[in-house]
Amino acid sequence: MLTQTFALLLCFMLQAAAIPYRSQASFRTTTDGEDGCPTGVHVIGIRGTLEAEGFGAMENLAKKLLEDIPGSNAYPIDYPANGIDIGPDGKPIYKPVEYIRSVNAGRRSFAIELDDFNAFCPNTSIVVMAYSQGAQVAGDVICGSTLFPFGDWDPIQDELKANIKAFVTLGRPEK
């Protein structure tokens, strides 16, 4: 646990520098620069298990960032976010195979968004916000993971990490 925490902190302490994008923002897009990139920040949201498509628990924070930082846009990662059902008695029914597939689908979608966005807008700062299962997805993609049974995931390249200026996660379920 301490080693994992230290590795996560080290992962972000080593990143300091910043590196045009046609916005895919389905949430809201504000003023774009001449190159089509946000002049503020690009907010990426990854929802938690069973939350509706969009930003889920992070929606109010995403809206606040868009209000406070002119020229920003926001994009929610599209992935299943499943693996738990609620039974007729209101108790959770855990479906581990679905959960693992969902996390892996989220990893792929988030990694593609980071790659695509950085290819088009290498000078725009990124804010990542994720809740529950989304927090696991974000942490795995940014810092890598060897957590069984999800399969190994290499961390993103340092050039991609350099543009992530804020990384907010709440409730990582694998911890």
List, for the chain, all residue ranges whose pLDDT scores fall below the cut of 50: 1-31
CB 37 within 8 A of CB 21: yes
- Alpha-carbon distance of 33 to 54, in angstroms, equals 25
In CATH terms, 2-170 corresponds, of 3.30.1370.60, 3.40.50.1820, 1.10.1760.20, 3.40.50.300, to 3.40.50.1820
Q: Where are the domains of the chain?
A: 2-170
- Cis (ω within 30 of 0) for the bond into 149? yes
* Residue 81: predicted pLDDT: 95
Cross-strand partners of 20: none
Query: What 3-state DSSP class applies to 59?
Result: helix
Closest CA to 107 of 42, 163, 65, 154: 154
Whole-angstrom distance, CA of residue 108 vs CA of residue 97: 17
Distance CA 55, CA 51 (A): 8
Are the C-beta atoms of 143 and 4 separated by less than 8 Å?
no
What pLDDT does 30 receive? 45
pLDDT at 144: 94
Tokens of 12: 């972000």
CB 141 within 8 A of CB 110: yes
Per-residue pLDDT at 5: 35
Question: How far is Cα of residue 15 from the mean position of the Cα atoms in its chain?
Answer: 17
Residues 6+ apart with CB under 8 A from 73: 23, 25, 27, 28, 29, 30, 32, 38, 40, 42, 43, 66
pLDDT at 134: 96
Q: How far apart are CA 15 and CA 79, in angstroms?
A: 27
